[in-house]
Structure 1
Amino acid sequence: MGRSKPFRATAVVVEDDAIQRDMIALLLEESEFEVIQCEDAETASLAIKMRHPSFLITDVRLSGKMDGVQLARFARQQYPSMRVVVISGQAPSSALPDGVRFLSKPFYPTTLLREAAR
């Protein structure tokens, strides 16, 4: 009889810089998350609809028509209990939705993991 895999929470990482995206994904995977990587908000919004993740981390600046703040707003509207973190080297130019946290780049890995575990 096969062994079932333990439940792993799902996280969506949205970052258009592939190296940063891979580093964040690796950090979360080592913390027992199943990670979906996206380089734009449009792809991430589809992943959110289809996979119902518990955690979203997104850069503010993204390629495509939607930025990270708009994606955060979409995610919180779809799933109000989803933990959402917006990251950027600069403060976002528009207000973040209620419950969305901001981390300034560069950030410590432990800070991100603390946000993921909230």
Structure 2
Amino acid sequence: MGQSKPYRPTALVVEDDPIQREMISFLLAETDYDVIQCEDAETAELALKSRHPAVLITDVSLVGNMTGIELAHLARQSDPELCIIIMSGKPLSTALPDHVTFFSKPVYPIELIREVGISRRH
């Protein structure tokens, strides 16, 4: 019999900048998350429904027809316990859903990992 793999929660990273998306994904993978990467909210919405991640990290401005804030509202409706982190290099002009963490870009990796780690313990 083969050894079973330890459980790794899933994180969904939604960022249209491939360098930032890769950097965030690498950090999460190094802290024992399985990571799904998406460049737009429409694809991420499908991943939310099919993979039920523990963490959603999204930029506000994305390619496609939906913003990261709209995605966060959809995610919050389907999973009230989901850890959601929204990032932006610009000031927010729209209200965030309840219990969403906001980071201004540039995001310091240690802050991001700390926030994800805190949510993991809850």
Alignment pair present for 1:65 and 2:65? yes
Partners in 2 of 1:34 and 1:98 — Cα distance?
25
* 2:49 equivalent in structure 1: 49
Superposition pairs for residues 1-118 of structure 1, below 5 Å? 1-117=1-117, 118=119
Q: Does the residue aligned with 1:13 lie in a helix, a strand or coil? A: strand
The number of residue pairs the alignment matches comes to: 118
Question: RMSD over aligned Cα, in angstroms?
Answer: 0.6
Amino acid at match of 2:7: F
Amino acid at match of 2:101: R
Q: After TM superposition, which residue ranges in structure 1, 4 or more long, deviate above 4 angstroms?
A: none
Gaps in structure 1 of 5+ consecutive residues: none
The structural deviation recorded for 1:91 is: 2.0
Partners in 2 of 1:54 and 1:64 — Cα distance?
24
Gaps in structure 2 of 5+ consecutive residues: none
Partners in 2 of 1:36 and 1:51 — Cα distance?
9
TM-score, L = length of structure 1: 0.98
Partners in 1 of 2:63 and 2:107 — Cα distance?
22
**What percentage of aligned pairs have identical amino acids?**
58
Structure 1, residues 31-78: CA drift from partner, whole Å, max 9, x if none? 000000000000000000000000000000001110000000011100
